[in-house]
Amino acid sequence: MDGSVRIGILGTGVVGQTIGGKLTELGHDVKLGSRTATNEKAAKWVAQYGSRASQGTFADAASFGEVVFNCTSGMVSLEALHSAGAANLAGKVLVDVSNPLDFSRGMPPTLSVCNSDSIAEQIQREFPETKVVKTLNTMNAGVMVKPSLVPGDHDVFMSGNDADAKSQVSGLLRSFGWKTIVDLGDISSARGAEMLLPIWLRLMGTFKTATFNFHIARG
Amino acid sequence: MDGSVRIGILGTGVVGQTIGGKLTELGHDVKLGSRTATNEKAAKWVAQYGSRASQGTFADAASFGEVVFNCTSGMVSLEALHSAGAANLAGKVLVDVSNPLDFSRGMPPTLSVCNSDSIAEQIQREFPETKVVKTLNTMNAGVMVKPSLVPGDHDVFMSGNDADAKSQVSGLLRSFGWKTIVDLGDISSARGAEMLLPIWLRLMGTFKTATFNFHIARG
């Protein structure tokens, strides 16, 4: 993925703002989408990142993007994606960064889907014309776009059914600084990546920091 | 945990045989327990490991051990532990190495319990007089007792409610060669460790080897 690409980001939280900001710094044009076209967090983000940054609705962002990032909470991702519109996502790569963390039963959160299914698979089933690639959901937002925040070797995982889509996403990940991209397999392998969240949350509690990451050591 | 300790191992599969064998080599007396006192795999194991090795029923092994390892499949662990007997396990450290992998729905296996509970928590609830420590369930049996099979830094996780029990188990883990033991917290943190299995299985498929392990990179 060489040169400037138009990117739509669904979600105006820390993850969406961080990924979107990094992408503008890399020379891409980015539209941050939310429920409303006048979201205040998105407006502040646009003011911060300048002429390559814009905002709009979920549908505006999906329509704008040649590549779309799902940075909404996994609990509301399907609703946000339906709001974005299947036609606006058809034929495109959707980078799914979400985690289905359910805080309604208290702390620690549980996963609203896991084990025999995943949010990534649900999205792929509901949007069959879209090429879903799960990645970046297993680390803190800062580490996602600046892996060097964590010293030493560590990895980003990737799952998806479409080889070309995974190749495109790998290019973006490398532009963020990722050296080791572990391709877990088809989209059903996203179950494994999403099921890392419970231990990630425990580790954050133990280490008192979110600046760490998984590495697979091997021969 | 200095000097020779009597250890009971529940389960005669690869994990039980490997851990039991290593413990005899470290100078401990080990009884391998199974459903029957005359299990053929256990008999071969005893013949291999010599005078410090013995075999018996689950109850024999639990009664013999000052420390007991649960190396049965998580799907049958509660049944095996009830067969071992609560009285034979009371007041003792139970090292739970099991994973609740359910192959009945085909491949890849799912977890028979996860997300809001774990097999380790189920065991701790059913055997409240026993000090359950979850560990070693996130790697291949060979790596469990010889971490140097995997180059570089990598980690073993530990969960449990009793600090003294975790300290005892840490001593055994260090005698296996483990350098980084990550204490995740109380026994409920075993959910996170057990939920690593789905990605572990995918990684084994991707790497075409089981000789790898998780490492948490951090500053």
In this predicted structure, the answer to whether residue B1 has a pLDDT above a threshold of 70 is: no
> DSSP assignment, residue B37?
T
Tell me the pTM: 0.97
Closest-CA residue of B relative to A143 is B218
In this predicted structure, the answer to whether residue B214 has a pLDDT above a threshold of 90 is: yes
Number of domains within chain A? 1
* CATH code of the domain in which A54 resides: 3.40.50.720
Contact predicate A16/A71, CB 8 Å: yes
Determine the residue among B105, B110, B115 to mutate to test chain A binding: the one whose Cβ has the most chain A Cβ atoms within 10 Å.
Answer: B115
Closest-CA residue of B relative to A187 is B202
Q: What percent of chain A has pLDDT over 70?
A: 99
Q: What is the Cα–Cα distance from A16 to A144, expressed in whole angstroms? A: 11
Asked if the structure places residue A187 within a domain, the reply is yes
Q: Could you tell me how many CB contacts below 8 A there are between chain A and chain B? A: 130
In this predicted structure, the answer to whether residue A76 has a pLDDT above a threshold of 80 is: yes
Mean pLDDT of A135-151: 98
Instruction: Measure Cα distances from B29 to A37, B22, B133 in Å.
Output: 70, 11, 20
Q: Is A180 on the interface with B (CB under 8 A)?
A: no
Shortest distance between the Cα of A175 and any Cα of chain B, in A, equals: 21
Residue B180: per-residue pLDDT? 97
Mean pLDDT of A148-173: 98
Asked if the structure places residue A212 within a domain, the reply is no
For residue A201, the surrounding DSSP H or E stretch is: helix A197-207
Q: What is the Cα–Cα distance from B9 to B18, expressed in whole angstroms? A: 10
Pairing state between β A212-218 and B212-218: antiparallel
Q: Do A219 and B212 touch (CB under 8 A)?
A: yes
Q: What is the Cα–Cα distance from A152 to A215, expressed in whole angstroms? A: 9
Chain A environment of B215 (Cβ under 8 Å): 154, 214-217
Contact predicate A61/A81, CB 8 Å: no
In this predicted structure, the answer to whether residue A209 has a pLDDT above a threshold of 70 is: yes
Q: Is A135 on the interface with B (CB under 8 A)?
A: no
For B70-125, the pLDDT digits (tens) are 999 999 999 999 999 999 999 999 999 999 999 998 888 999 999 999 999 999 99
Q: What is the Cα–Cα distance from B44 to B40, expressed in whole angstroms? A: 6
Q: Do A217 and B150 touch (CB under 8 A)?
A: yes
Asked if the structure places residue B23 within a domain, the reply is yes
Residue A3: per-residue pLDDT? 82
Residue A105 pLDDT grade (very low, low, confident, very high; cuts 50, 70, 90): confident
Q: Do A216 and B213 touch (CB under 8 A)?
A: yes
Q: Do A184 and B203 touch (CB under 8 A)?
A: yes
In this predicted structure, the answer to whether residue A153 has a pLDDT above a threshold of 70 is: yes
SS (H, E, C) A107-147: CCCEECCCCCCCHHHHHHHHCCCCEEEEECCCCCHHHHHCH
Contact predicate B116/A105, CB 8 Å: yes
Summary mean pLDDT of chain A = 97
Q: Do B219 and A196 touch (CB under 8 A)?
A: no
Mean pLDDT of A49-75: 98
Asked if the structure places residue A213 within a domain, the reply is no
Nearest to B71 by CA among B84, B54, B53: B84
Closest-CA residue of A relative to B199 is A192
Q: What is the Cα–Cα distance from A146 to A199, expressed in whole angstroms? A: 22
What is the per-residue DSSP string for A55-102?
EEEHHHHHHH-SEEEE-S-TTTHHHHHHHH-HHHHTTSEEEE----EE
Determine the residue among A118, A184, A199 to mutate to test chain B binding: the one whose Cβ has the most chain B Cβ atoms within 10 Å.
Answer: A199
Q: Is A211 on the interface with B (CB under 8 A)?
A: yes
Q: Is B212 on the interface with A (CB under 8 A)?
A: yes
In this predicted structure, the answer to whether residue A1 has a pLDDT above a threshold of 60 is: no
In this predicted structure, the answer to whether residue A66 has a pLDDT above a threshold of 80 is: yes
Residue B2: per-residue pLDDT? 58
Residue B219: per-residue pLDDT? 76
Among A2-6, A85-89, B135-139, which is the least confidently predicted range?
A2-6
Contact partners, residue A63, CB within 8 Å, separation at least 6: A8, A85, A88
In this predicted structure, the answer to whether residue A219 has a pLDDT above a threshold of 80 is: no
In this predicted structure, the answer to whether residue B182 has a pLDDT above a threshold of 70 is: yes
Asked if the structure places residue A146 within a domain, the reply is yes
For A173-190, the pLDDT digits (tens) are 999 999 999 999 999 999
Tell me which residue range forms the domain holding A198.
6-207
Asked if the structure places residue B61 within a domain, the reply is yes
Per-residue burial over A187-206, b = 16 or more CB atoms within 10 Å of its CB, e = otherwise? bbbbbbbbbbbbbbbbbeee
Instruction: Measure Cα distances from B115 to A41, A101, A105, A197, B176 in Å.
Output: 32, 11, 12, 10, 30
Residue A155 pLDDT grade (very low, low, confident, very high; cuts 50, 70, 90): very high
Residue B17: per-residue pLDDT? 98
Residue A110: per-residue pLDDT? 97
For B119-167, the pLDDT digits (tens) are 999 999 999 999 999 999 999 999 999 999 999 999 999 999 999 999 9
Residue A107 pLDDT grade (very low, low, confident, very high; cuts 50, 70, 90): confident
Asked if the structure places residue A30 within a domain, the reply is yes
Q: What is the Cα–Cα distance from A115 to B115, expressed in whole angstroms? A: 9
Residue A186: per-residue pLDDT? 98
Nearest to A187 by CA among A216, A214, A210, A166: A166
Q: What is the Cα–Cα distance from A67 to A120, expressed in whole angstroms? A: 16
Q: Is B210 on the interface with A (CB under 8 A)?
A: no
For residue A167, the surrounding DSSP H or E stretch is: helix A163-176
Residue A106: per-residue pLDDT? 87
Mean pLDDT of A98-121: 95
